Structure 1
């Protein structure tokens, strides 16, 4: 938050209203309880002095009445120009971690300020509202303070506006002005490191099969191009050079990155319970962990929900050229605000995946009925691997167990070629990851291979 001097009401808390009637009324409304008590006592003493004919009491009453009014006038006519800035460190934090907010106040006027009180507005989930008292700030002076915020709930939380309260030395009057700028703290899901595995799910044109095909085919299958200044002469393709009559070089192999889609089931009917320890929050955290893990392994990743929404958008240009850090930030920001959907099935997700039937698909699923399980079964890539982590919400919500029903759904997915694993209440994602490897089917073994 940066507020240039002279462009915000808080820049002139003592006289931003220019002394007009509205400003005077605002100043009078800033009388504190002490100031109002002095004014009331002075008026009462003056009335009693008039009735009783006591001139000394009248002077006391006038003094009590005039003191808060003088404080109002002085505070209202004194002009201060104060600028403020706010800095978050960091701006994106995992749930349960702390961030520090740094506030800086600059007195850009030629007059020293009086006693200042700063108050920043923060959502209640981030902690108590921070308040700071600053002593006299000299002309051109600067004060810096900081406070910490923490949330166990993911989301995007606004910070601000920053309020500045100015009071007179006697505490008779207080004027409050607010800066207009806001900042946003993003609380992303917690992530866990996962054991490294050999994931495939590559698209055609990548991996050992592609390289072996090129090796067996020989140089005749190489597509040459015209020599360019700076090309390595060791890449000159002499057969093509003789054929075309100009210097030709072999193209460098540009294999496509393997693809992975992480499907997150957000249906509200699929999860029971709320809060940081709920099944849905475990699924969101698990999806974030898998996305980061696979992105680090060099995959081109997408996040897909049951509503058909994808990040990056399915059908867009391949995101393999995007910076991994930027893509990871985009995925985490999306998961920070993902919420339950009102859907009942996976028809939209099936439509979004149509035409991209290759690569690796990892799904985090809630409760499945027979129809939704059949829809999930059809999501399996034609030329890839599908892994389903199924959360039994009755187990997570301490309700009656439905082991038979969950086992039937897992069997239904396995028969369709999925590797399906049930996630117990409070299960560790690395442990579930290893369990999936231990229970993998033959197709899953071909995709995951041995642990590295």
Structure 2
């Protein structure tokens, strides 16, 4: 038996196979062996030859089973298919196991067992009575987790046993599969900046047809580029294959800031405030990608999800589905940070360009509220969803302290909303649009360049 994809001998050709088989004696096999030895000793003491024959047979039967099982020559090959390999928290994935007997002799009784983490459910076990020569068996089970993360599936184990149940021999496949459980996402109402029907901006574009041959700024050749775009003069100059840049419209940028500070949240589990913030960030990222924005996930540590676009933005040159998969993989394993402030994320935003900023923040003290307020200065629009951990744990509305933090953010130009336990992000999203519109009417300006629709 081997890892999925190639067969191997499960018994006789393994070094120490007989010794391993002896260690695999079942309780029944050990009982028969002990009874046989005891009967033989009693027969010797009492001088009973018939009892000696009985003891000899009792002890011989498990030894014969061990010998036969350890020299079994049939081969099996196994494989595992996981569908899908990435699921939202609370959804099920189907795991299909396939066992092939690639020898010319049928197998005996087999038990198939797959190792799965306890959070995915009970360990699946299947009994296969007999697999004919060249035969195949397929079994399936389902796994589900309410907690996001990456979970290994495997190794797959095959347990061989003799017809009398005297001995069991276990062999393991070597391959693993990984199930990625990503945060749950919710569809959000469509968002539109004034004068922009999608995430594509109206920035000036330079037409290559109007530029001279010497004005073209080439880039290195990438696999799949059209050879008709090769810029031969630059190729000769740089000594490597260069192509003309494609004319592309500018894409509006959106940064989603996720506060992961451990001190900013209380509680744990799928219904905690931190998990709500992670799920909210995932929903916002997917929504903005679908709207055509180039997005970036930024945490309080100052780290952003790597993307092909400038400044760590994903979706600028990637397909939206690929960008979403990259971001969701990151959010599947994001955890609390040990940092105490938001200064590192502020440093990243301070050096960037203007764009939409959506922040999911935990508890803020006066100092961190001031840091968050300064982030608004470099952003064309800013929305903050602030979670009050005390109110969340008690199922109550945000207190006076949380309302004061929201007021300070609003005075700095943020569209800031408090998030209480059980709040639905789509409703908050719409409420943010109304608040932004009211601020526009009252102050003549708006954090969303004219509001949301």
TM exceeding 0.5:
yes
Q: What's 2:346 paired with? A: 350
Cα distance change on mapping 1:192 and 1:348 into 2, 3 Å: same
Q: Give 1:189-338 correspondences, 5 Å limit.
A: 189-199=183-193, 207=201, 210=203, 224-225=210-211, 254-312=248-306, 315-316=311-312, 319-338=315-334
Q: What's 2:84 paired with? A: 90
The offset of 1:198, in angstroms, is 1.2
Q: Deviations over 1:48-75 (max 9, x none)?
A: 1122222221111111010000000011
The offset of 1:146, in angstroms, is 0.5
Q: Deviations over 1:367-416 (max 9, x none)?
A: 00011111111111535100000011111111887621111111111111
TM-score (norm 1): 0.85
Q: Is the 8 A contact 1:120 1:162 kept in 2?
A: yes
The offset of 1:27, in angstroms, is 1.1
Task: Give the one of 9, 13, 28 matched to 2:10.
Answer: 13
- Which consecutive residues of structure 1, in runs of 5 or more, have no partner in the other structure? 228-250
SS of alignment partner, residue 371 of structure 2: helix
Cα distance change on mapping 1:200 and 1:323 into 2, 3 Å: farther
Q: What's 1:121 paired with? A: 115
Task: Give the one of 410, 418, 425 matched to 1:429.
Answer: 425
Q: What's 1:163 paired with? A: 157
Q: Output the CA distance in 1 between the equivalents of 2:274 and 2:316.
A: 29
Q: What's 1:64 paired with? A: 58
Q: Output the CA distance in 2 between the equivalents of 1:331 and 1:142.
A: 39
Is residue 359 of structure 2 the alignment partner of residue 363 of structure 1?
Answer: yes
Q: Output the CA distance in 1 between the equivalents of 2:40 and 2:367.
A: 85
Q: Is the 8 A contact 1:300 1:320 kept in 2?
A: yes
Q: Output the CA distance in 1 between the equivalents of 2:104 and 2:78.
A: 17
Q: Is the 8 A contact 1:201 1:359 kept in 2?
A: no
Is residue 33 of structure 2 the alignment partner of residue 47 of structure 1?
Answer: no
SS of alignment partner, residue 403 of structure 2: helix
Q: How many residues align?
A: 411
Q: What's 1:241 paired with? A: none
Cα distance change on mapping 1:316 and 1:281 into 2, 3 Å: closer
The offset of 1:343, in angstroms, is 0.6
Task: Give the one of 443, 449, 453 matched to 1:447.
Answer: 449
Q: Is the 8 A contact 2:33 2:60 kept in 1?
A: yes
After TM superposition, the structure 1 stretch with the greater mean CA deviation from structure 2, 441-450 or 33-42, is 441-450
- Which consecutive residues of structure 2, in runs of 5 or more, have no partner in the other structure? 214-244
Q: Is the 8 A contact 2:78 2:99 kept in 1?
A: yes
SS of alignment partner, residue 263 of structure 1: strand
Q: Output the CA distance in 1 between the equivalents of 2:17 and 2:208.
A: 81
Computed over aligned residues only, the root mean square deviation of the Cα atoms, in angstroms, reads 2.5
Q: Output the CA distance in 2 between the equivalents of 1:263 and 1:422.
A: 16
SS of alignment partner, residue 176 of structure 1: strand
Q: Is the 8 A contact 1:5 1:81 kept in 2?
A: no
Task: Give the one of 401, 421, 444 matched to 1:405.
Answer: 401
After TM superposition, the structure 1 stretch with the greater mean CA deviation from structure 2, 29-38 or 391-400, is 391-400
Q: Is the 8 A contact 2:415 2:447 kept in 1?
A: no
Cα distance change on mapping 1:344 and 1:450 into 2, 3 Å: closer
Is residue 93 of structure 2 the alignment partner of residue 107 of structure 1?
Answer: no
Q: What's 1:77 paired with? A: 71
